[in-house]
Amino acid sequence: MMSDAAKYTEIEVYCKATECGIGDKLYCSTLIGDLQEAAERGSQSVGYGTDFLKENSICWIILKMRLHFTELPSWHDTFRIRTWGNYIEKFYYGRDFEIYSSDNRLIGQASSTWILADWNTHRPVIANKRPELPAPVIQNTTLVFGEPCPKVAFPSRNDIAGETEKPVIIKYADYTELDRNRHVNNSRYTAWAYDALFKNGYDVSLIEDLVINYNSEVKAGEKVELFITNNDGKVFVFGYKNVDTKVFAVEMTMRNA
């Protein structure tokens, strides 16, 4: 149902030196974390905040996100994120974003798809069948890309690497990679993808668009192997654990140098 609440939620974010890399530009993975912080605030504004959901043993799980940006904020910048819930389909929830510079220029847009899930089993929760939950609402039907967040085709590891090819980089779920649920925070997968490209000679400063799909959680101590492929001018990074369990897939588009 459409909401009588505000048509969007906004937060301001200050760009710290510890969140920036080469060229004093904000890490893309940090920006994705900021978008998800805005998403939590937006959900809270329509009655689905993290604390309330946790009391009912429910959590939000992000399934996929697309982010397009013309520039990344720089150290000392204050930028603004605007977000709104824009569709509900079965148990999928859409949420889009706009990113504005300190001088009010639109510098980025994002779309995302989420589910409500049981805290323990992570099986989808249908809100209308849970009387303790408020009726789900749509704040604004605008789709920043004109369509919901896309899905990335995710081949099996054998199709990517065959029997002998080694991963381009290996990552581990060490302490600083973990979130409050003792799983790798999903924003870290973007950081890992950037690391894989950087290690293999790509100019990651040219990335202007990425679509990331999240398939499996990574728990403390687990190992993830990353592979890179190219197709139709796009670069893909695929992460697998336990040999062939699909973890995440990223499709990245780079602007011309």
Q: Classify residue 79 by burial, with Cβ atoms within 10 Å: 0-12, 13-18, 19+.
A: buried
Answer yes or no: are the C-beta atoms of 93 and 136 closer than 8 Å.
Answer: yes
| Closest to 7 in 3D by CA, of 109, 131, 142 | 142
pTM of the model: 0.93
* Segments of the chain assigned to CATH 3.10.129.10: 9-129, 157-254
CATH topology of domain 157-254: Thiol Ester Dehydrase; Chain A (3.10.129)
Q: One digit per residue, pLDDT tens: the chain, 257 residues? A: 544 558 999 999 999 999 999 999 999 999 999 999 999 999 999 999 989 999 999 999 999 999 999 999 999 999 999 999 999 998 899 999 999 999 999 999 999 999 999 988 889 998 888 889 998 889 999 999 999 999 999 999 999 887 678 999 999 999 999 988 889 999 999 999 999 999 999 999 999 999 999 999 999 999 999 999 998 889 999 999 998 999 999 999 999 86
CATH topology of domain 9-129: Thiol Ester Dehydrase; Chain A (3.10.129)
Q: How far is CA 95 from CA 40, 79, 114, in A?
A: 11, 19, 8
**Gap between the Cα atoms of 119 and 122, Å rounded:** 6
The amino acid present at 158, given as its one-letter code, is N
Other Cβ atoms within 10 Å of 43 Cβ, number: 22
The two three-digit tokens of residue 220, written as one number: 């403390």
SS3 of the chain: the string is CECCCCCCEEEEEECCHHHECHHHEECHHHHHHHHHHHHHHHHHHCCCCHHHHHHCCEEEEEEEEEEEECCCCECCCEEEEEEEEEEEECCEEEEEEEEECCCCCEEEEEEEEEEEEECCCCCECCHHHCCCCCCCCECCCCCCCCCCCCCCCCCCHHHHHCCCCCCCEEEECCHHHECCCCEECCHHHHHHHHHHHHHCCCCHHHEEEEEEEECCCCECCCEEEEEEEEECCEEEEEEEECCCEEEEEEEEEECCC
